[in-house]
Amino acid sequence: MSAAPESSPLFTPYRLKGLALPNRFVMPAMQRGMCAAGSPKPELAAYYRRRAEGGVKLIVGESAAIDHETATRQPTSAWITHATRDAWAHCVDEVGKAGGHMLIQLWHEGAVRKDDGLSISPSGYVQPGKANGRAATLDEIAELIEAYTRSALIAQDAGAAGVEVHAAHGYFLDQFLWAGINHRDDGYGGADIAQRARFPAEIVASIRAACGPDFVISLRFSQWKEVDYAARVAGTPDELAVFAGMMKQAGVDVLHASTRRFWEPEWDGDRRNLAGWTRALGGLPVITVGSVGLDTDVMTTFIEGRDAKPRVAEAVEDLEARIAAHEFDLVAVGRALIGDPDFVKKLEARDYGAIRLFTRADLGALEWDTDVIHEAHA
């Protein structure tokens, strides 16, 4: 089996701020359920290290609830608080031993949290026409900016190279970005994307001020939501440019543009996906993601229980062409890395037949409170 050509753009070095990466691959945040009382277990640290050993040198730790009581009620979720700091430090150390770097993802469920008196969102809706919980007050918005910043400082103290602010998939910050459910008239919502993006931008700016210029800040965003696949944050390229420009001004270093299938164009008449448009309009490095190596998206696997089929050779050819064309800079691989921790090494060797394919069974008995999401697709 011949090795990948040295000219393959996927296996050229890349520098993300102060992080020297030997290739273009990233492991995105994925809930694995290996936590107890909010703390990552040693097996989660070993899981991260094993993927770094397999060739992925930038690891994003799974969604960690910020230090605020409203953040999540999911039983096996991670938290990033003073109480969990040492467990995260162990994860960072293990990834470092394999020559990798680690970001910790900062997350809040918002209205996707089943209403238990602590479910908050911009306007008390989880999707258009479907109420859940209540609207956050201005005082709570100020508290939450402090909570995101506090958790970022804990991540920095634990040795993480940076954080990723989760503003995707219909969760809390994405609910602010979504005009369909953000009806606020206090400067944090409404028809103007600049007002809807204000809260995430203020969080990023606060983290930047607290953690300093060398700390990496990624922001993950999406058009689609787990409760509504057709939803959009930016209806036009102009709106996307406003959003990306605000994030750059606030202090974001890299935008992580989440799509269900990376090969699908964002707007008719142009082959570029969401990451490609974001890089062209925003002036920041961009990560693409979406069913890399597989033929179907994570929600089809999760909601319908259907296993994906391999789509490896096509993905490699497509990704190489897009990186060579500077459509995006980095590629996040999710489920394929759950299935095979050596996925990247096998790609580099062009040993596609040796890749162990991800299956629904690889998710295990993940205890994830997704009642609201399942109800949306019932």
Q: What is the pLDDT of residues 15-34, one digit of tens each?
A: 999 999 999 999 999 989 89
Residue 272 CA to residue 257 CA, distance in Å, equals 12
| pLDDT of 1 | 42
Residue 323 confidence (pLDDT) above 80: yes
Degrees (nearest 5) of the Cα angle 9, 241, 273? 40
At the second CATH level, the architecture of 9-376 is Alpha-Beta Barrel (3.20)
Classify 211 as helix, strand or coil: helix
Residue 163 CA to residue 111 CA, distance in Å, equals 23
| pLDDT of 51 | 98
Residue 354 CA to residue 351 CA, distance in Å, equals 6
Distances (CA, A) of 241 to 70, 236, 344: 31, 9, 32
Share of the chain above pLDDT 70, in %: 96
**Residue 302 · residue 334 · CB < 8 Å:** no
Classify 291 as helix, strand or coil: coil
Residue 227 CA to residue 37 CA, distance in Å, equals 27
| pLDDT of 4 | 46
Residue 378 confidence (pLDDT) above 70: no
| pLDDT of 178 | 98
| pLDDT of 37 | 94
The answer to which of 141-155, 252-266, 357-371 has the lowest mean pLDDT is 357-371
Residue 39 confidence (pLDDT) above 90: yes
| pLDDT of 56 | 98
Q: What tokens were used for 88? A: 């995260």
**Range 128-142 average pLDDT:** 97
The three state secondary structure string of 322-367 is: HHHCCCCCEEECCHHHHHCCCHHHHHHCCCHHHCCCCCHHHHCCCC
Q: What is the pLDDT of residues 41-68, one digit of tens each?
A: 999 999 999 999 999 999 999 999 999 9
**Range 168-172 average pLDDT:** 97
Quote the radius of gyration of the chain (alpha carbons, Å): 19
Crossing angle of the two packed helices 138-157 and 85-97, in degrees rounded to 10: 50
The three state secondary structure string of 55-118 is: CCCEEEEEEEECCCCCCCCCCCCEECCHHHHHHHHHHHHHHHHCCCEEEEEEECCHHHCCCCCC
The answer to which of 78-82, 149-153, 215-219, 372-376 has the lowest mean pLDDT is 372-376
How confident is the prediction for the chain on average, in pLDDT?
Answer: 94
Residue 370 confidence (pLDDT) above 90: no
The amino acid at 368: W
Share of the chain above pLDDT 90, in %: 87
| pLDDT of 5 | 47
Residue 199 CA to residue 231 CA, distance in Å, equals 20
Distances (CA, A) of 117 to 100, 120, 126, 178: 40, 8, 15, 23
Helix residue ranges per DSSP H, 179-236: 193-196, 198-211
Q: What is the pLDDT of residues 229-274, one digit of tens each?
A: 999 999 999 999 999 999 999 999 999 999 999 999 999 999 999 9
Residue 209 confidence (pLDDT) above 50: yes
Give the domain ranges of the chain.
9-376
